Amino acid sequence: MGSVVRSMLVIAEPAPNTRTVLVPGFAGPVVKGAGSLDYRCGGCGATLLENVEFEQIRNIVVKCFGCGSFNETAPVNEMN
pLDDT of residue 3: 76
Residue 27 and residue 29: Cα distance in Å, rounded?
A: 7
The pTM assigned to this predicted structure is 0.85
CA–CA distance from 57 to each of 6, 8, 12, 22 (Å)? 13, 12, 19, 11
Quick: pLDDT tens for 17-72: 998 899 999 999 999 999 999 999 999 999 999 999 988 888 889 999 999 999 99
